[in-house]
Chains A and B, each alone.
Chain A
C-alpha cells in the first residue's frame, strides 16, 4: 500500500470535520488528536465516540462540532458501536439498500473507555475482524469525571483516586501496555502517535482507515487540567514524552514492530534519549516525586522506561 503523504500546506487546506466551536479546555491534547485524525479521512466516513471528554465537549445539544455522521451510545461501547455500524454497512451495501461504496468507520475512545471499561468490547470487535479504526486518545486518567486514575495512568502520578498522600505517593501500579496487548490480538495494524508529530499521526490514521480489518491507533494527548501543566505546553510535553521514550512511536503490521520518526532517530542515536525527569517536571501531577523521600520512584520510572524501550528495540530487531 502506498503511504499517504501530505505537506503542511496541503493539510491546512483540508476542510475540518471536527469543527471549531467545541467546548474543550484551553490546550486540550485530545481535541488536537481528534482534529488531526479527522483531517486524515479519505472519503465517506462514520464516526462513533465513547462517552468521555471529547463526546461531552463536542455534542452539547442542540449544537455539534461534528460535520460527519456521528453516534454515541455509552462509555464502554465505542468498539461495539463500530462493529454494529460496519455490519450494517456491509449488509445494506450487499442488499443494494445503500450506495455501493466504501465507508470508513472510526471509533474514538479515551483511556478509561479503552484500557478499562471498554476493553472487552474492543477485544471482541477486533477478534471478530470488523473493518474499523479505533483511535484511543490517551490523556492518562478519567479527566471528564474529575481526574480519577485509569489503567492508562502512569506509575507515580497523582490523580484524585490515586492521591499523593503521606503514605501512598500517587499511583502504585504501572500503565497497562494497551498497544502491545492489541498487537497480541494479531490484528492487521497497531500504531502509536503523538500530537507533537502531526505528520506521523495523520499518516498512521490514514493507514488505519485504509487497512482492511481492525486497526488501532494509540494517540498520546496531554490534558493540562488533569496533568496540572501549562496550557501552552501541551504539544511540547507530548514531544518530551517521545524524546524520553516514555511514549515511543511505532507501528506494527500483523505483529511486526517498526519504529517511526523521532523514536527511530533515538534508536539510531541513543544519546538523543532524554532522561524522564525532564518530562516529569513539566507536570504538577508528578511534583511529589521530587521530594527527597520519593527519589526512588523517579528511578523506578526511569528503569521501567528503559526496560520497555529495550523490549521495543528487541521487538523491532534493533537490539
Chain B
C-alpha cells in the first residue's frame, strides 16, 4: 500500500545512490573518484553543474581527505555524504574511526570491491568487512532499488538523537553499480520531508553552558580532544550503547519508510525468504541474495525445504533475529564474499556461528567463501551449496567447515 506519488526510472546502482543523495537535501558532499564508485561522483557533479542540487561539492585530493572533510563539515552542522570503494575505503580507515568516535552522522555508500593485491576492480566485500569494528552502521543492499531506499533511510538512522553514528550502505560493485534496473523513486519533496532537518544533540561545554554539539562561533566547544586512561574507555562504551540503540532505530525508520513507499526489506535488520519451515538455509549479504531466492524457488518446487536469511544490517549485528530465525534449522551455510586470512572462516560465518553458540537447537553451520574479485556466482553454484546442506542435514555433521566455491582447486 503506497500512499505517495512514485515513478519508475531506469538507474544503475551508482545512479540510484546519487539520485537519493540529491533528494536528501545534503549540505556537503566531499568525494574522490574510484572504480566502481565513479558514477556516483560523476552524476553528482552533473547535478551540481546543472544547479539541480543545493550542495557544496568538494572534489578532494584523496579519500582520506574526503572522510576528513565529511567529519568537520558534519561537525559544523552540515548534513554530509561521501562515497567510496576498495582502496579508497582502506585509505579512509583511520578517519572512519574518528568519524564514529566523534559521533558524526555521515552517510557513505561503499560500492563493494576487492582489495589489492593483486589489483582487481570487481566485487567482493573485503573492503567494508575490514572496517567492521570501527563503529559504523553497515547495511548491504540486494539491488539498486534497495540502495536508493537505504541511502534515504541511512540519513534518518544516523542522525537520530539516540544514534548519532555514521552509516555506510554497501552495494555490490558492477553487479549493482553498473547494471541498469528499474528503480522506483519518490518525489523530491517526499524524501525531504521523510528525512527531515538534521537534529543536533546538546552537550555541556567548558563554560558550563548547554550548547549544540557543533562548531558554533558563538558557543565555543572543543570537539575531538585528547582523552586518556581516565576517560577514553567511557567514550567507547557510549559508542557501543549508540550501536545498540541503532538496532531499534533501523527497524523504526525502515517501517516508517515501508509504510510510505510500500517497500520493505524484512524488518530492516534481516530479510528472510521462505525461511519459516525451511530445514536448510543459506545466510548472505548483498546482491547474491537475488540469485539465492531464485534457487530457493527452484528447490521448493522439488519439495526441498530451502530458505534464505539475508543480513541487511551487519553492524549493529541483529543477534536476537539471527538466533530466533536459525534456531532448529538442520543445516546453515554462511556465505562470505571475503576472507579472514588465518581466521576460522569468513567474517560473517564467525559472527553467525558465534551468535548461535548460546542458543538451543543449534543447527550445523558451514562456511562458503565465494565470489572473490568478482568471480561469477551462478545459480548452479548456489544449488551445489544446498546439495551439500542436504547431506549435512542427513548425517547431522559438518565434514569440512570452511569451503571455497567457484574456485579452481
Contact = CB atoms under 8 A, between A and B. Distances in A.
Interface in A212-271: none
Interface stretch (B34-42, B217-225, B358-366, B395-403): B217-225
Nearest to A17: B220
Contacts of B30: 83-84, 87
Interface stretch (A43-51, A164-172, A304-312): A43-51
A14 interface: no
A69 B216 contact: yes
A3 interface: no
Contacts of B72: 48, 71, 73, 80-85, 88
A69 B223 CA distance: 8
B68 A81 contact: yes
B95 A71 contact: no
B102 interface: yes
A120 interface: yes
Which residue, of B60, B95, B214, B225, has the highest number of chain A Cβ atoms within 10 A? B225
Contacts of B215: 46, 69-71, 85
A70 B64 contact: no
B224 A88 contact: no
A73 B102 contact: yes
Interface in A23-79: 44-46, 48, 55-56, 59-64, 66-74, 76-77
A62 B62 CA distance: 33
A46 B73 contact: no
Contact of B223 (A71, A89, A128): A71
Nearest to A103: B217
B298 to A, nearest CB: 50
Contact of A44 (B60, B206, B217): B217
Contact of B65 (A46, A67, A83): A83
A69 B224 contact: no
Contact of B222 (A45, A70, A123): A70
Contacts of B339: none
Interface in B30-83: 30, 54-56, 58-62, 64-65, 68-78, 80
Output the residue of A71, A72, A87 with the most chain B CB within 10 A.
A87
A196 to B, nearest CB: 29
Given A64-B206, A88-B73, A91-B54, A69 B221 contact: yes
B77 A98 contact: yes
Nearest to B206: A64
B61 A91 contact: no
A59 B225 contact: yes
A64 B223 CA distance: 10
B77 A67 contact: no
Nearest to B231: A61
Nearest to B30: A84
A177 interface: no
A69 B61 contact: no
B62 A92 contact: no
B305 to A, nearest CB: 52
Contacts of B98: 73-74
B94 interface: yes
A91 B75 CA distance: 14
A72 B61 CA distance: 20
A70 B220 CA distance: 7
B50 to A, nearest CB: 17
Nearest to A60: B226
Interface in B204-236: 206-207, 214-228, 231
Contacts of B71: 73, 81, 84
Interface of A is mostly: mixed
Contacts of B284: none
Contacts of B74: 84, 88
B28 interface: yes
Nearest to A95: B54
A120 B216 CA distance: 28
Contact of A73 (B68, B78, B80, B219): B68
Contacts of A62: 231
Contacts of A70: 215, 220-223
Contacts of B217: 44-46, 68-69, 103
A13 interface: no
Interface in A94-130: 94-95, 97-98, 103, 120-121, 123-125, 127-128
A83 B225 contact: no
A125 B30 CA distance: 12
A203 interface: no
Contacts of A85: 72-73, 75-76, 215
B271 interface: no
Nearest to B198: A97
Given A85-B215, A92-B77, A95-B27, A66 B220 contact: yes
A92 B78 contact: yes
Contacts of A56: 226
Contacts of B54: 91, 94-95
Contacts of B77: 88, 92, 97-98
A68 B207 CA distance: 11
Contacts of A128: 58-60
Contacts of B78: 87-88, 91-92
Given A81-B71, A88-B80, A123-B61, 12 more contacts: A59-B225, A59-B226, A68-B220, A72-B223, A83-B60, A85-B215, A87-B58, A89-B76, A91-B28, A91-B78, A103-B217, A121-B65
For the complex of A and B, the 7 pairs showing the least CB-CB separation, nearest first, are A124-B61, A84-B72, A84-B69, A44-B217, A59-B225, A88-B76, A80-B68
Interface of A: 44-46, 48, 55-56, 59-64, 66-74, 76-77, 80-85, 87-92, 94-95, 97-98, 103, 120-121, 123-125, 127-128
Interface of B: 27-28, 30, 54-56, 58-62, 64-65, 68-78, 80, 94-95, 98, 102, 206-207, 214-228, 231
15 contacts: A59-B226, A64-B222, A66-B206, A69-B216, A69-B219, A81-B71, A82-B72, A83-B72, A84-B68, A84-B73, A84-B74, A88-B27, A88-B74, A95-B27, A128-B59
